[in-house]
Structure 1
Amino acid sequence: YTAEAQVAAGSADAVVRPEELRETLGRWLRLLTRPSAEPAPPPAALGAAELPATGWEAVRRARSPERPRAAAYLDAYFTGRLPIGGDRSGGADPEGMLCGFGTHGERTVAFAAQTGTATRPAGYRTAARLVRLADRLGIPVLTLVDTPGAANDAAAERQGAGAAIADLFDAVAAARTPVTTLVIGEGGSGGALALAAPGRTWATPDSYFSVIAPEMAAAILKRPCSEVELTADRLRVRPQDLVELGVVRGVVGAVGDRTRDHLFPGTGDRRP
């Protein structure tokens, strides 16, 4: 029943020292009492500017250990931020999902950011909690997509991985506050799609977004390992492919004309 144990179990957000309590409460009150109806702008790309030539190149660049991760994007985007953690159901995923509120310019923006690992159920539930809290307070949300997919081990299944992902889908789709998404690395399957905002998703040049990893797609199609790279091309996972398919609005920071919004004329609908 220690405070630290409550944080580890996802029942509390942080342990605050008595001498820091006044300042911490003041920061939280300032963050949570600044509603805004304007969407959060997507962050600037921090990695490569050149678009990948092939699908497999896009996958390799997204998986590169040298690519900027969520923490770097959050540091560049916010002048200050405070985290929340835990799903209030007995779990936390501090290594896979970063959630909280921060100051961007003069406004408060909530954030839920994947870190490049396989996101665990507690991470999805924490993100859903973040989105619903921001929605109640009228604060715009920024999500960063970067995961090879949801954790699919036995422990994740016992913790309700499918229900947690579905709940986040519901939270993002039902939010009245604007949600902005930037795909900064791997966008693997429904574990990535759950964080993607309908109609307000962008990608960076060193990212990809796919219903399935090319290795798994090749295996399902009973193709040899030598055809994995060709499968990546046929999946059309490159950022520029995503723009042409209408999956994302544009590629942030790319060389050329891919940085503009690609909206279908007339209705503004997003269609593949």
Structure 2
Amino acid sequence: MRFMIDLHSHLLPGLDDGSPDLQTSLAMAKMAVEDGTRLMACTPHRTPGLYDTTADQIRSSVSAFRTELDKAGIPLTICGGSDIHICPELPELLAAEPEYRLAKSDYFLFEPPHQFLPPRLIELVEKVRAAGFRPILTHPERLRWVRRHYDVFEGLIRAGCLVQVTAGSLEGRFGSEAKELAWRMLDEGRIDIIASDAHNLTSRPPRLSAAAALIADAAGEAEQWRMTVERPASILRNEALEPVGMSSVEQVKMQQTPTRSRAPQRLWERLLR
């Protein structure tokens, strides 16, 4: 594996419950590079009333951290974005503040509540899509309500949500229930990308390689490549993607592709031009 792209991390220091300081952020970046990641989206929480992260904070923090990475000689390319909690004004917020979107593309990380299914969630996704934005549903395997409301999860895919599963869930880092759901989603062909959702150096580290190896064994190297490089690259280039689960909501087993996709050499250095 030459390199990977991680579109969900809490790497920026002091903005949320992720990295608390610059020293930790640099150590996390170094760990990610050693694990094979070469491009990482820094996506602090935007949760009204808890983490009121502003677009200006994201912009300035990404710029400052990019300078620190260069000074430390850590070969990690970064871009901005946010892990956005749902809110009624979401379409307007995304239109007004491109910094909340991944590398200012039309794509953004879409986080529903963990403990309960909010009303009219699919309707909110439809409104966001009608406004021209592309939601990526973050870690549905860790949302406590998904097991009981799997039909809503499938409805979110039909409404246009891409699906991002946390790498650590496939390894069992978030418990047996999240692991079981993650593997169900993989077996059914629901997962578009994996990401680390890194918060620290220990319990939630910025590592993808172990999960990528599990995916390669279960679904083939071609699909692993698509989840860790090809689709994330397309997202950052703002290319139109349909959720992989859109055409396979009733499919039980993923079809394995024998040939491997190729990415341009040093792709991560050209994506953000």
TM-score range, shorter chain: 0.3 to 0.5
Using the size of structure 2 for normalisation, the TM-score is 0.38
